[in-house]
Structure 1
């Protein structure tokens, strides 16, 4: 099964915004469309998301998909998000922007056409090491918008497996709860946090636990720890297969293919050509540790 990758700047992952489930899915499908088609994302050209893609990815009824996408177009146009950055003098800049500058639904074609706003384009498109990557498949079975947001927030901390303390008001904004919603902690936990954690644990590749932090008797924040789920021995079996069957000609072939992948950018030295990069990748494939590390990308470029 083809793996579709979502890439977002952590400034966007950590942004405070409120999108419903269909709107989040629409945004993610647009990102995938830009990457898979090679069209890329800019502030001028529309991206197309077909209802068929929505149906197949999220396993929803056809009629439901048509109406949901049509409604999402109406709501998405007025949605805003906020995030912070630092000025050249080190001062905090508080940004607010819309998600899209234009969105349209083509009735007879069941197609959404959208153009991301100028402010959001660089947050989605720059592929740097601080970005969070995850497979679309990980959120395909999540039916709570809060679960999608929680998963995004958590995997930004994948390298450590735990978050820092997130104050309650910050967490509410990050996960997309309005100030007027679920004011009682009992309701917030029952209808937001507990459902999100349950769905993440059931349907994604991580298991998460939450710790409450109190000031006196009141809960004032949360922190999360999580770990990768144990998978079957498919990866180790594939690695054994790779180490046994990756011939010198295959190393040469796949080194060239890997050199073109955006996901390989973190291994690049920046000034080298693709051919020079491919030569260095071939050396990496001869190293057992690096070979294991690059196995998922080898599968992506066609190794079977």
Structure 2
């Protein structure tokens, strides 16, 4: 398969929009097609998307690909998004609203979609001298949740640190394209949006992600996400089966076993000497988030009851 690199200005990555899975896929294919021209594109450029190409890259039937391209003529043309940019003259932050495409057509006999990006979109997929995000199309090709695709993209823009800033819930919902009245209750938001997206990302992409939530009073007000590339995670069993223990350990497990580890005499070499058992346990819990330190502490974890199998993690105690 070709080097299907998706490259977007971070302004576009952090934009607010609601696109269905097929529509996001077509935008991504159009971005790839723009790169493949090798000559750059303008707001007049017509980019061709073939139904066969869509079917191959996303592993769907030709019928599903034909349907996606046909429906895009009606649906994608109506889609809009908003993003923050700086005003050219005053350098003050402004909110810009734009369509994704200014022209779109479907050639039925050839099963080809012709896409012309709107003027505001073109620089955001070609102006790459500033901050931008890139990833391989194959990482999101199997995702069937529109929220999973968006979340993956938001996360991977922080791949240099593996951790996002704390994101306000309202801002996060806006980036995912949720309307104010959609999944207002947090339990519905988690069950229908957040948890399924994270599950798909963890199973089908190159990263494993988890999140922390923060409250304002009794209500959850923000989230922070951290993630690791699977190739960075450690292998621990003697049969060379890749068991990603560092990523699978929940926060509750981490703190429970850190407390047990803090009381082991053998762990004394890791202590700073002046800290209390509680302070030591907190620091151990932080150590367990790092794959290399997790690997080093793994023998002690087994001693205090942490057990693993290739199917799931179990714990005694």
> What's the secondary structure of 1:132's corresponding residue?
strand
CA RMSD for the aligned pairs? 1.6
Q: Which residue of 1 aligns with 2:65?
A: 65
Say if 2:169 and 2:222, in contact at 8 Å, map to a contact too: yes
Q: Which residue of 2 aligns with 1:253?
A: none
Deviations 1:131-173 (A, max 9, x none): 1010011111111110000011001111111111111111011
Q: Which residue of 1 aligns with 2:246?
A: none
1:80 aligns with 2:80: yes
Q: Which residue of 2 aligns with 1:146?
A: 147
Deviations 1:43-87 (A, max 9, x none): 002100000010000001111211122112211111111111223
Structure 1 stretches lacking a partner, 5+ long: 233-304
Q: Which residue of 1 aligns with 2:28?
A: 28
Instruction: Give the number of the structure whose residues are more often helix, by fraction.
Output: 1
Q: Hey, what's the Cα distance between the residues in 2 that align with 1:222 and 1:73?
A: 36
Say if 2:55 and 2:64, in contact at 8 Å, map to a contact too: no
> What's the secondary structure of 1:180's corresponding residue?
coil
Say if 2:9 and 2:130, in contact at 8 Å, map to a contact too: no
> What's the secondary structure of 2:109's corresponding residue?
helix
Q: Hey, what's the Cα distance between the residues in 2 that align with 1:94 and 1:129?
A: 19
> What's the secondary structure of 2:29's corresponding residue?
helix
Q: Which residue of 2 aligns with 1:273?
A: none
> What's the secondary structure of 2:139's corresponding residue?
helix
Q: Hey, what's the Cα distance between the residues in 1 that align with 2:53 and 2:42?
A: 21
Q: Which residue of 2 aligns with 1:235?
A: none
Count of aligned pairs between the two proteins: 233
Structure 2 stretches lacking a partner, 5+ long: 234-317
- Within 5 Å, give how 1:116-195 maps onto structure 2: 116-128=117-129, 130-195=131-196
Say if 1:48 and 1:113, in contact at 8 Å, map to a contact too: yes
Q: Are the structure 2 counterparts of residues 86 and 129 from structure 1 closer, same or farther at C-alpha, using a change threshold of 3 Å?
A: closer
- Greater Cα radius of gyration, structure 1 or 2: 2
Q: Which residue of 2 aligns with 1:229?
A: 230
The alpha carbon displacement at 1:92 in A equals 1.4
- Within 5 Å, give how 1:226-265 maps onto structure 2: 226-230=227-231
Q: TM-score, normalised by structure 1?
A: 0.74
Say if 1:201 and 1:207, in contact at 8 Å, map to a contact too: yes
The alpha carbon displacement at 1:200 in A equals 0.8
The alpha carbon displacement at 1:39 in A equals 4.5
Q: Which residue of 2 aligns with 1:200?
A: 201
Q: Hey, what's the Cα distance between the residues in 1 that align with 2:130 and 2:83?
A: 19
Q: Which residue of 2 aligns with 1:43?
A: 43
